[in-house]
Structure 1
């Protein structure tokens, strides 16, 4: 089999112990060096502190790996030429012997193949602004519509069209619940300005929904647990609105389109908020990782 699962992760899955999948794009492409390595190791440590096993996922030399050792994490963090891989890229990367960091869609796909049910990330991709013109939509949404995994995230990136993304998730049949909130979080912000239909308040409640998904059968779709960044650690909403408006105008003026839009806007936010957006991003990821570990533990109890 092409998939390489570390011994620690494989044993934990076999024994029914809690495991949390972690993406590697934040390591290779989301943070500057050497901070990226420190954060990667910190997130794995946070999972362990909650009693679960971390499974950071990446493709190295054409081998999809679920669960990296320290040397492999260092390689993802420090090696030049690490590509960014969505789930559509996986067969190409395997055939070409390429190394790459996995996005939400690729991580969810490989985690599900390995038998991991819980995945922690920062924010999901979604429907891009001006979708009616560009038809630009993240591959995350379609993949989650056909993958049985629970994704703990801070909503979708606020640079996207949030209401359109929520509508698309509904159309695709992907369940969405706010964690401890009736509002859909906005990645950098605790509240995107839009409500959610369902609220869950404990890891045990999340695990019960996961069991109900299995009992009901039907489509193998995901459960999105939208966990807001704490208000004290969110990006100032007024600063966010002003800088995002500036970023969108700069994007149009410079003719940035397609896949280049998201990194352009995110980079603009980091630079023009003096790093405050990055701090909010990391606060959200840390909270999501800890919650995901608690959910995985609650899920493991009833397996």
Structure 2
């Protein structure tokens, strides 16, 4: 794991000093993942959900080239409202620092920085992964290779369903990244409950996930992440026919407009938002709030002084 020059927000500094559980949160969902003004509202809801479930939120981002673990509310508001915020993967962190950029961290960058800061649990919506037609484009998210060398638990709703889910699971296996379903042996499909593929492992409680973290640390076997797929309940998923129809149209538009690389995911998510008349946004928000709640419970269970507090996951 590389070294990062990190400044900690005051609330994270206090949590580290007092041995309280901390959950890492990404900032690309604020600057690139959600439309304004929903992005700021949801960012605040995510942080509050972490607090309500027994942990301290540490939203990670960059301001003026300074990497911050635990953005303050005014700093989150700045990233939510600013134009031209850089999208920072791990490879971009040094460039962002050198040019004093304002930047939002992706899953890859957030995971790497969080692990460097000693944070063991990270909540996000959906992972990046292998893009469709990657056999010709070689388009694959840096999330995957970063997770192969980053000891962190990523609580997510699978990979974004706009990607090639099966190929992504194959790459995670090849890269040595552990994958488990939370309460299920089926890998979740982000907007939809079932992504169409089995997983080998199922964990049913925050305590089981915390025990997995402890076993990894004790055994020293493998330095990769644990991807924990937390599916939406069937009644909360996006209508599957609407999902499939919207995805097919979005992929057609991608080809028509020549969109590629980093622009693919925001383009398709924006298409989902407009074509489903906001229904996908509602589902996306439910996903991240549920994942934030579960991540907080896992972090609390993994922190001995807080393991018996008994916080419950909202239904």
Coarse TM-score class (shorter-chain normalised): over 0.9
- 1:244 paired to 2:280: no
Distance 1:69 1:197 in 2: 39
Tell me which residue corresponds to 1:123.
126
More displaced 10-residue stretch of structure 1: 132-141 or 216-225: 216-225
Residue 141 (structure 2) aligns with: 138
| Displacement of 1:260 | 2.2
Q: Distance in 1 between matches of 2:280 and 2:162?
A: 12
Tell me whether 1:109 sits opposite 2:112 in the alignment: yes
1:125-160 CA distances to partner (integer Å, 9 max, x unpaired)? Answer: 000111110001000000000000110000000010
**RMSD of equivalent CA atoms:** 1.3
Contact 2:33–2:266 (8 Å) recurs in 1? no
Separation (CA, whole Å) in 1 of partners of 2:241 and 2:280? 12
TM-score calculated relative to the size of structure 1: 0.97
Q: How does 1:213-292 map to 2 (within 5 A)?
A: 213-292=216-295
**Paired position in structure 2 for 1:44:** 47
**How far is the alpha carbon of 1:261 from its aligned partner?**
2.0
CA distance in 2 between counterparts of 1:173 and 1:157 reads 20
Shift of 1:31: 1.4
Distance 2:130 2:199 in 1: 17
Superposed, 1:1-303 pairs within 5 Å as: 2-301=5-304
1:81 aligned counterpart, secondary structure: coil
Which ranges in structure 1 are unaligned for 5 or more consecutive residues? none
Number of residue-to-residue matches in the alignment: 303
Structure 1 runs (4+) deviating above 6 angstroms are none
> Given that residues 109 and 143 in structure 1 are in contact (C-alpha distance below 8 angstroms), is that contact kept between their aligned partners in structure 2?
yes
Distance in 2, matches of 1:172 and 1:200, equals 21
Q: Distance in 2 between matches of 1:84 and 1:258?
A: 12
Answer whether contact 2:131 2:140 (CA < 8 A) is retained: yes
- Provide the C-alpha distance between the structure 2 equivalents of 1:189 and 1:37, rounded to a whole number of angstroms: 25
The answer for unaligned runs of 5 or more in structure 2 is: 308-315
Offset at 1:82?
1.3
CA distance in 2, matches of 1:2, 1:195: 40
The answer as to whether partners of 1:22 and 1:121 remain within 8 angstroms in 2 is yes
Cα pair 1:5 1:114 within 8 Å, conserved: no
User: What is the Cα deviation at residue 239 of structure 1?
Assistant: 0.8
Compute the TM-score of the two structures, normalised by the length of structure 2. 0.93
SS of 1:207's partner is helix
Cα offsets for 1:203-254 (capped at 9, x unmatched) = 0000011111112213311011100122221100111111111111222222
The aligned residue for residue 310 of structure 2 is none
Counterpart-to-counterpart distance in 2, 1:249 and 1:80: 28
TM-aligned CA deviation for residue 11 of structure 1: 2.6
The answer as to whether partners of 1:13 and 1:116 remain within 8 angstroms in 2 is no
